[in-house]
Structure 1
Amino acid sequence: MQHQPDSALGRFVNELEETFIALILGAMTIITFINVVLRYGFNTGLIWGLEATSLLFAWLVLFGMSYAVKVTAHLGVDALLNVFSHRPRQILAIVAGIVCVIYAALLMKGAWDYWAPFAGLDATSGRWFPTGFENSRDQAWYETVDIPMFDWLRFIEPVMNEGESYEKLPRFIPYAILPFGAALLLFRFVQATVQVVRGRRDGLIVSHEAEDAVEDVKHMNAER
């Protein structure tokens, strides 16, 4: 069961996730294919190919975790929930939603605090929830291992690297998916919890992999 977004923001996030997931899968496929052809056909390869596909896979996972909340693709155990009637089930789903929102908020804080120094920004203060910002060591000069710097991105060098040239792609660019992905996850959990409160959704997770598998093979058993 999928829930269509009911707001302009929801539709924008939905299109953003689907577009980037498709682009990332396409880029991973193309890079891997080219590397295989170069390696076995010409005894060479893209030096930066492995690192690029690894980073793209991380992007895919972090985009996918929020999108899976939207399409209810995450798996969960609801044996205990099914014992209760509709109203207690809804209350428990709301409690679970609040817990997930808190978890996503903590994850976003941790993701920002990890990424911010690579972008020359300040990390948040506070052990659990942000209480402000505090100075953190500027790590904007950190580069990836093999991925070359793109010429069209060199306008960032005066701002991020004190005018010095990057030889490789700076890490803050691929690492930016950490706070962004966590923010998407927080948005999706808030959206899902609101839908549960409004009665438009039974729970955060409604996928039943085992039942779906049984339905898929039922016709096979009927033909025997």
Structure 2
Amino acid sequence: ESPSNPTMEIIDIKSVAKIAHQHNALVIVDNILASPVLQKPMEFGADIVVYSGTKHIDGQGRSIGGAILSSKQHYEEYLKPFIRHTGPTLSPFNAWVLLKGLETLKYRMDQHCHNAFKVANYLSQHPKVEKTIYPGLKDHPQFALAKKQMLQGGSIVTFIIKGNNAFRFMNALNLFDISNNLGDTKSFATHPATTTHRVIGEEGRKKLNIPDNMIRLSIGLEDVDDLIEDIESALKTT
């Protein structure tokens, strides 16, 4: 998974693929956060790429679906028999919705990234924010690698708020919805420790550097000044 959710770590796909292929192992990349617009893992040696079509590809909360990309040989040998025997076929309507989403994906991703960069830059300078994690910021520890693999920084901004103020901040948001979803035209705020990563436990989260005061923002297509104003207002309550 690159970038990773929610810590926004960047995996060197080319290096991983080189090591894996030396041992006859396949490389599978979860490309959901980057989207097919910003990152093309197969160009760096990945064998299989997976997507949640709900995120970014549809990007408007209308459908549930996914996609697996692989070589024709892998498809014929593994995917095709699995699909034939288990029947995980997308409904015609959901397929149509996702195809319509693909028509505007590039333009939406441009705006997602534009808004996310501005939000990340704002948060990185705020005195009540301990740390901002966004691949498009130069202070990201893997900025050079992100720039090499991705066209832009993506729609996800993760930050660590000072103190035990995560819930207070999130409850004060008005424009952002509280949701585990991401890659939508609407902006969402998520508290990973009690939602997406609750199941791995406190020790597991510590190993992954996911503290209780971490917040993940999925930046949508609203006016970015309105988003920043909402964040600023919520931070004032902490």
Q: Aligning the two structures, in what range does the TM-score lie when normalised by the shorter sequence?
A: under 0.3
Taking structure 2 as the reference length, what is the TM-score of the superposition? 0.21
Taking structure 1 as the reference length, what is the TM-score of the superposition? 0.22
Higher-RCO chain (CA-CA 8 Å, sequence separation at least 6): 1
* Rg comparison, structure with higher value: 1
Q: Which protein is richer in helix relative to its size? A: 1
Q: Which protein is richer in strand relative to its size? A: 2
